[in-house]
Every structure is written in structure tokens, then in C-alpha cells.
Chains A and B, each alone.
Chain A
Amino acid sequence: MIRLGTLIWLVVLAFMGIGVFQLKYSVQAQEKELRQLRRQMAEHLEAIHVMEAEWSYLNDPVRLADLTRRHTDLVPITANQIAGIDRLTLRAQDEPARDPSLASSTPAKLLPLLPLRRQVSYATGDTMLVRKLLARLGG
């Protein structure tokens, strides 16, 4: 006759056995997923590598210049279009009142500006800001 204690131990044994095997299978599944992920990563990295080469090929300067000329109004920036913030003149109402006793001193002359065509300097970014700045300087 099987004693109660033995029976309990047998039941516990059964549960532990099932538990161990489940654990083992879940670890195997994780490892399989890890291998899969690593393989996918390697494939993606290889794809990135190929795309980097393609990107460089598409960035051929001659091709870019041709595309820019055909599809946009952009032209290379010239020295006339570059100035520092310190060269901005204040608007008339913001200027401090001139002391008439001082010898008249005009601010240093800027380089002559080109008339503003419908263009944007691709080297310096925001269109509206550049246009406003140039309008101020030219006006």
C-alpha cells in the first residue's frame, strides 16, 4: 500500500519534472529567437552597407549639380550674401539720437549686395530669415 507521504512526494516529483522540462524548452525557444535576431541584424547591417554605397553613388557632385540646376532655383552662394550679425544696422526709430556735436561717422560700407532674386542660399538655411535680413540691410 502506498503511504500518503510517499504519494505526496511522488506528486511533487511529477510537478517538478514537468517544470524542469518546460523551463528547458522555453530556454531553447529563447536561444532560437536570439539566433534569429542576430541573423536578421547581420542581414540588416549588410543591407545598410549596400545602401551606404548606393547613397555615396547618388551623391556624386556632378549628378547633384545637374539635379540642382534642373529642378531648383538654387545657385551657389557668393561672398556678397554673407554678413555677420554685427553688420546689421538698427532701424531709424531704434537708433539713439545723434549728437550733432560729434563729427559725422557713417558705419563702414558693406560690400554691394546683389538684387534679391527668388533664391535661397542652401548653405545658410531658413529662407524667410535670410530674406528679412537682406531686406533690412539693403533698405
Chain B
Amino acid sequence: MRRRTPLHALPAIHPAALVASPEGPMKRALEMGHSRLFFGAALFCVAFLTIALRLIWVTLISQDNEPRLVHSVVRPALPRADIVDRNGVVLATSLTTSSLYANPKQISDPQETAKLLTDIFPDLNRDVLISRLSGGKSFAWLRRNLTPKEQQNVYRLGIPGLYFQNETRRLYPQGNLTAHLVGFSDVDNKGLAGIEKSFDDILSQGTHTVTLALDLRVQHILHEELSKAIADYTAIGGAGAILDLRTGEILAMVSLPDFDPAVPGEATDDQRFNRATLGVYEMGSTFKIFNTAIALDTGSSHLHDIYDASHAIKIGRFSIDDWHGKHRPLSIPEIFTYSSNIGSAKMADQFGPEKQQVYLRRLGLLAPSPIELAEVGSPLFPAEKDWRRINTMTIAYGHGISVSPMQLLAGVGAIVNHGLWRAPTLLKREADAIPAGQRVISENTSLALRQLMRLVVELGTGKKADVPGYLVGGKTGTADKQRGKVYVDNARMASFTATFPVSDPRYVLLVMVDEPKPNAQSHGYATGGWVAAPAVGNIVSRMAPLYGLPPIPEDAPEAFNPLAANVADYDSSASSAKSHPAATKVKVVTQEVPLAVE
């Protein structure tokens, strides 16, 4: 090919460039080029040097804290939080289980598959299984919540079309012991009753364990003794509860008959009914605690006033009479010890309906109990305009008003707890979160009531509840039950409420037995003193040593009851009555503590 341009026309290397050290403008151009190279290289060097220095600094020299990858062991959120008692015993927990389902489209031989499955699960109906496994659906539950062994067996069958899915299942390790309190939930882990329901939102989050105030040991004691009383007297049911007076915590709560929370569907309505919180009943003579407290606190009566209980009171068509009455004038300690309806009605007549309403409201008897359950019954009482003289007089001995056992317990607790009412709670209260009580009666009144309650156990209807060393004080209650508007013969609610030790009460208990029938040992009686008081005595004798309460000897100053001298022997066979020579007109304690203004 011919060159286009002749050789001599090509740009030639300038001869000056071939010279080692050029002169003139060439020199400047070269120097500029050199310096540009130099600056470029310097920049890169600086950059790399920075990186190198920083590397050395960070890895070798710096003692900076590295971000900690080791966190303190935080439990991952559970599918549903646990419920535990005050000592950490688990009452309700969720465990992950496998559930078996099938894709019927992929089942090749429903008959064979059903046969193999019924070998593992004998309680599954083969025909139902066959129908579930055939058909064009793509999902069919076969069996939920398998045990690991069952899962292994199904896995070994190696049948295509059967799959497992992880599900959570709620377990109740303590079973029926805490059935009403803890409640139960459905298959989708939604709470349906008890704490499971009322704290459903907190439990669903899975992070916070719900700690109850319940003490399982005391719950067991209450459950056992209540069951025994119900069995001994062939009753239809019962309820009981124990309250810690210093904190307002409910240590035990039992309602019988109960059920197994794992299979709530098999339980009858009667078994699921929480008699301790939801049922409202006329409590009978236990209300005399409140009546006497109101009379003494308002000043309308004094401890040594005498009321004439010789004749029944007749108001309109109503007649108020005593059961096994003494039919003579009685002092207030005697009215309380002998449980006189006539005396109580006369005391109530003196302070009147307005004062009665004020005090009963303060004691929490006119409003549903504030505990953290959904199953709480509302009390029944006359409307304000209907609260007449006759109502006041019947309410004095506990008829004409219906309250739940929990309300009664909290009210009695306030009376014996030096006059301070605390809202009962099912949750454990930390020492710094205990609410100050609201004052409902004065210290003096509380002391007088405690001494009166001790009289009932020392000399009166509650003798069977006495436990040597623990100064048990209480009040029996035997209330006739109503069907419609009529009182039924031989159907009664026998109850006993007690506190111990009366010198400085720590706990208050209530035991109620529904429709006890007299048995051979009880000489034809089925009253609170025969049915419920022994149960309370047994509970105290088991519970007090458990909590390490020191027993109080009989001749200690706290054990002395100045009111004992004011009550003539209950019956001539009662030899345990103590008489102290100096105590004829003993004044009850010293200065008045002012009532808090409402």
C-alpha cells in the first residue's frame, strides 16, 4: 500500500526532547509535568498513609469500648406469658407442640392412611378420618397438640401429604387447685376466664410474667379443709378465701366444686361458677361484726349497754327473733357471743339507716369487689329511698343484703386491721407498693371488735375454731337461703370468718359451706359453728406454723380478754370461760383516733 503521507511530512520527535537536560520552554513544560505527577503521587500517599495510620490506631493503640455482643441473658418473648404464684411456682405456661394436618390432595390412599393413624391415635374415628383425608381440599386438621412420642410415630410412617405445624398449648400444672383463679383459655390461646382473661393483653405479649399474690401451699390447705367440710356434711359446694392484712393480698381463694382447666368444656356451669367472687349471698350473722362496729364507732352504743332481748320484735308483718335465744336482757358482748338477732336489730335501730349506709359503703359492701377478675358479682341491697327501718334492722343480722364472699372478707379485714380498709388484690404487691389503708372505723372500735370476736371463739359459737397459741377470733354465720322470695327450710349457708392472732392480726379467713346437712357427729346441727369453724381451726393450725408465727402462751398479756368476764357461761358445760377478778367494768383503751373525713 502506498503511504499516504510522505515520510518527511510525519511529525518528527523534536530534537530538543532528546536532549538530557532541555532548555527553555521545554524545560518549563517538563517541570510542570513532573510537579503534577509529584502532587498526584503525594495525594495518593497521603490518602494511603491516613488509612494506614487510622488502621494502626484502631487496631493497636485505641482502647475504645467495642460494642458488646454479649447481652445479659434475656429470655426471648414466649408465645404467651406464664402465670406464677408468689413463690414462683408455675400455674399456667405455654409449651410449643406439633399439630398434625394433611393435604388431602396429596394423600394417595385415605383408607390405608386412616388405618395407620388410628393405630397411633386410638381415639380418632376412622370414618371421620377417611372423610377428612379424601376430598379436594388442601388443608385438613387431623390432630392438634401431639406429644413428642406421637409426633415421632407419625413421622416414622413416612406418609406423604401429612405435615406438622408448631402450635402453642396452654398447660396448667396445678390443675384444679387454682382452676377458678387462673382460669382457662381456648385453643387459640385467648383467655376465657379468671386471670387468663383479665390479663389477656399482658399475657399475649409474652414478655412479663404475671406474679400472683397466691401462696400455693395455703391454697392447698384451704382447698383440702374446705373439701373435707363439704364431704363431711354432704354440702353442695363451698367457698373460702384468705387475706393478708398487712398488704391486702389474697393468699388463697377456693370455690368448690371446681374443674380441670385443661378440659373446661367438660365442666358443668356449677363447677365453673366462682362462688367466692361471683356469687352474692345473704351472709347472716357474720354481719353482726359490721353492725357492732357501726354501733360502737358512731357512739350510739357502748360496750356495756344492755338491750332487752326477751321478746321478739314485731314490725308490720315481720317478726325478728333469736334462734335458741336467751330471752333476757343482754349486754353487747353477750349479743355478739350468743349471736342475738333481736339485740343486733335494736342496736341498728339506734344508729339508723343513713349511718348504716355510710359505713357499709366505706367497708366496700355496697360496691363490687375491686379484685382483678372479670367474674365479680354486684351486691344486692335496697335502693336509698327504700332503705327503711325494717331493712336497717334485718341488715343488722345479715339478711336483706347480699354480698360476695370477697367483699365480706375485705370488710372484716378492715374491721380487724385497726380500722384500715385496703382493696384486696390478686397480684403480688411489692413492699414499696402497698397502699395506705383508708380509715373506716377508729382504733378503739377495732380493738373492741377483736376482743368480741375472740369471745366468740373462747366461749361462744366458734369454740371449734380455737387453736391453742394463736388467739383465733371469729364470728359464725348461718344464713337461711332464699329461693325466689321465700326462705327455704333446711337450706342454709354456714360460714365462719376468723382472724389470728387477735392481739395483732396478720390474716383474715372466710370459709363458707353451701347447704350442709347435719351428720351423726353434729347432733342434728349444721350451723357455722359445727361446719365451718372446725375447718377454719384446722386451716389456722396448719398455716400459722408454716408462716413461722410464734405461738402465744395462755398466760401472756396479749391473751387476756377483758370482755370474758362480761359474758355469763355460754352453757353450764362450758368450762373454758376465764374469769379475771379485776375485770368487772373494764374501760376499753385510751385515746380516740380521729376518723378520716370521707
Residue among B177, B541, B545, B554 with the highest chain A CB neighbour number at 10 A: B545
Bitwise interface map of B from 87 to 106 toward A, beta carbon under 8 Å scored 1, else 0: 00111010110000000000
Contacts of B555 in A (CB 8 A): 108-109
**Residues of chain A within 8 A of B554, CB atoms compared:** 111
C-alpha spacing A46/B556, complex, angstroms: 54
Binds B, one of A71-79, A97-105, A131-139: A71-79
Chain A residues whose C-beta falls within 8 Å of the C-beta of B553 in the assembled complex: 108-111
B542 close to A79 (CB less than 8 A): no
Return chain A residues, CB-CB under 8 Å to B73: 41, 45
Which residue of chain B has its CB nearest to the CB of A60? Answer: B174
Cβ A79 vs Cβ B469 within 8 A:
yes
Q: How many residues of A are in contact with the other chain, CB < 8 A?
A: 31
In the bound assembly, the distance between CA atoms of A42 and B75 in angstroms comes to 8
Does B144 touch A at the CB level, under 8 Å? no
**In contact, B220 and A61 (Cβ under 8 angstroms):** yes
Q: How far is the CA of A76 from the CA of B177 in the complex (A)?
A: 20
- Is B469's CB under 8 angstroms from A61's CB? no
B95 touches A53 (CB 8 A): yes
Known A76-B542, A82-B545; judge A57-B173 contact (CB<8 A): yes
What residues of chain B lie closer than 8 Å to A57, measured between beta carbons?
A: 173-174
A78 engages B541 (CB within 8 Å):
yes
Q: Are B468 and A111 in contact (CB under 8 A)?
A: yes
Given A79-B544, A111-B469, A56-B551 contact (CB < 8 Å): no
Candidates A62, A79, A110; contact of B470 at CB < 8 Å: A79
On chain A, the residues within 8 Å of B75 by CB distance are 45
| Contact A59:B89 (CB < 8 A) given known A49-B95, A79-B541, A109-B553 | yes
Interface centre among A34, A77, A84 (most CB of B within 10 A): A77
> In the complex, what residues of B have CB within 8 A of residue A78's CB?
541, 545
Q: Which residues of A contact B69 (CB under 8 A)?
A: 34
Chain A residues positioned under 8 Å from B91 (CB to CB)? 56
A67 within 8 A of B: no
Cβ-defined partner of B548 (8 Å) among A42, A108, A123: A123
Within 8 A of B (CB), among A103-139: 108-111, 123
Contact of B29 with A by CB under 8 A: no
CA–CA, A60 and B155, complex, Å:
34
B177 surroundings in chain A (CB, below 8 A): 60-61
The answer to whether residues A60 and B173 also contact, given A49-B95, A84-B550 and a CB cut-off of 8 A, is yes
Give 23 CB contacts A-B under 8 Å.
A34-B69, A42-B76, A45-B73, A49-B78, A50-B95, A52-B82, A56-B89, A56-B91, A56-B93, A56-B173, A57-B174, A59-B216, A60-B174, A60-B175, A60-B177, A77-B546, A79-B469, A79-B541, A81-B545, A82-B548, A83-B550, A108-B553, A111-B468
Which A residues are closer than 8 A to B by beta carbons?
A: 34, 41-42, 45-46, 49-50, 52-57, 59-62, 76-84, 108-111, 123
Which 10 A-B pairs rank lowest in CB-CB distance, beginning with the nearest?
A61-B220, A56-B90, A56-B173, A57-B173, A79-B469, A79-B551, A77-B545, A53-B93, A56-B89, A52-B90
| B interface, CB within 8 angstroms of A | 69, 73, 75-76, 78, 82, 89-91, 93, 95-96, 171, 173-175, 177, 216-217, 220, 467-470, 541-542, 544-546, 548, 550-551, 553-556
- 20 A-B pairs besides A56-B89, A109-B555 with CB distance below 8 A are A34-B69, A41-B73, A45-B73, A45-B76, A49-B95, A53-B95, A56-B90, A56-B93, A56-B173, A60-B177, A62-B220, A77-B546, A79-B541, A82-B548, A83-B551, A84-B550, A110-B553, A111-B468, A111-B553, A123-B548
